[in-house]
Structure 1
Amino acid sequence: MRAVVFEGLGGPEVVKLREVPRPVPTREALLVKVHATALNRADLLQRQGEYHVPEGQSAIPGVEVAGTVEAWGEDVKGFTRGQRVFGVVEGGGFADYCLLDQGMALPIPSGFDFTEAAATSESCLTANETLFTLGHLQRGQAVLIHAAASSIGTTMVQMARHVGATTYCTVGTRRKVEAVRALGADAVFDHREQDFVQEVLRLTGGEGVPLVMDFIGGAYLERNLGVLAHEGCLVLVGLLDGMSTQVDLLRIVQRRLQLKGSSLRLRPLKEKREVNARFRQRWMEVLAMGGLRPVIHARHPLEDVNVALGEMEANRNIGKLVLTLGRNDSHA
């Protein structure tokens, strides 16, 4: 089968499309014929040598797929050949075929094509887990979402609005401001032109917000603490700019603040299945009814993976970058 591989570490020159052996299903895995897959920041970091694939997982990039079931392991139950499925995988998504654990496989909702399904799983699982399982977001509360034009950010905005929460968002360009406003965000700040701390405190009468979703890391930590309300919670979803920083611990103690971290790929499979089950229970019906849709920035054929990686590296994308393999328009 064809697969994207990184032959060394570095820039676009290390990205190759090669013929590799087709994976063989393990006892609880499906073999999926991939019709679409989507980029994540970890794919770019892996190419650059800044992300190490967890032991036992595929070195082929790609952590979410949508396609049809081709075969399965001896302990798999409840699936049929040709069934349309999507889900988060442990690497291997940028290929014609990929293994998908049966506990991570979800049926593609009617009305979704393969590209939409591929753009859904990782963003939705992460957004649900961080907003609600870790952040306990409730109707009537407010949340500050950084990097709100990213695939996870655009999903968070939609989920928060769906439950009746107020959404304050930061982005990095005027174009992204307009895109996130179009999703229904209550306020969107261009961090190059506005101080989000001042703006959020102004909008909340100085109280701050009970929840912050941060993808930036150390560079924003002190300011994020400054915008949290008493007993507020900061969830670190990513570390795009700063793996470490100094922090005022007294502020955390006095205001009883909470700091939580989130990772999906590094978790044991049992926990990933639990994350998947929570998402399925809460959001699959909403997806099927059209109440939540992935934002897709662009679709590229697998052969143009470097074009897609370049878009992500330049931080131009609003929502997901999707790679397609063959026909992807089927709703059957």
Structure 2
Amino acid sequence: MAAADEAGWFNIAWNEWTDLGQIRAQLDAGADPNSGVRIFEKPLHVAAERGSPEVVTELAMRVDGVDAEHRGRTALWMAVFEGRTDNVRALVSAGADPWRLMMGGWSPGRLNLAGPTPDLFSLPSPEVGLSEAEAAAAAEARRLIPALGDFYYEGLSLACTADVSAAEAIARLDATSADDADIDALYEAARWNIPDADLIVGITDVPGGCVITQPWGHTPSTPGVAERVSPGTVCYSMYANPKGGSGRYVARDGAVITTWEPHSAYTVPLDALAEEILAAYLYRNHPVAFCCAGAELRLTDTRPLIGPPDMWLRLPDRDWWK
């Protein structure tokens, strides 16, 4: 635990932002209530995300402005995005403005309308509410996330492609049937001894398009796959690397870009589009559902993701990273 006589925030651990005594001691010792936290800079923003409402209230009384922004967002934005309703209430009680416009034209209050507690604030006017498209996106998130449920997806890679059938995707990838492959061996450590293990993928037709998966490798998440299946449409792909982190690409009409992960308010770029911000909020900590929703695939269960797929395929032997 950080010593109270060490002015500053450097030694405050992430799990100590709920400890009012510790935070108050740091402040009394000279820690700046307005700045100085590693990476995230502003103490109130960190407390809003991971602290207790008592700590949030204490910091809110000491900062120069409760609605001060960092990286284009206020502390109230952080609390709303992270689903910290207790901290939201503490910030509003301290004078934070729920309807202050910021990233992508969103305000914390308007973003909250798409979440699980839409009645948390009183609307200043009907025009502030969600558009029809935004309300539909929120409704789909409330359907899709429970439909997929909680399942183990470490090591899984996938490519969710809109408006393309499995048959069309097979043709675009120049893939062939892999019915002769020993699939049981691929699921085990023996796959390291199978020369074409990385080229074996599963594919399944789903409402809205198709899903390409590989439970043991990263191939469906590569730029080469996304580029080849996405002409005229969009493909969202990801790889849940068991060693940590994940690769993620979005391809639109054959053009591949690297995208960000919707697991924290701080991963949303300042220049993100309004619909991207909404998707990141709706699917925070649900990266698989995020990919499905991005391609507008209306899955009803996890079978297309964790198998068995409709068909096992063998991809051509090429550099799929190009």
Bucket of the pairwise TM-score, normalised by the shorter protein: under 0.3
Pair member with larger Rg: 2
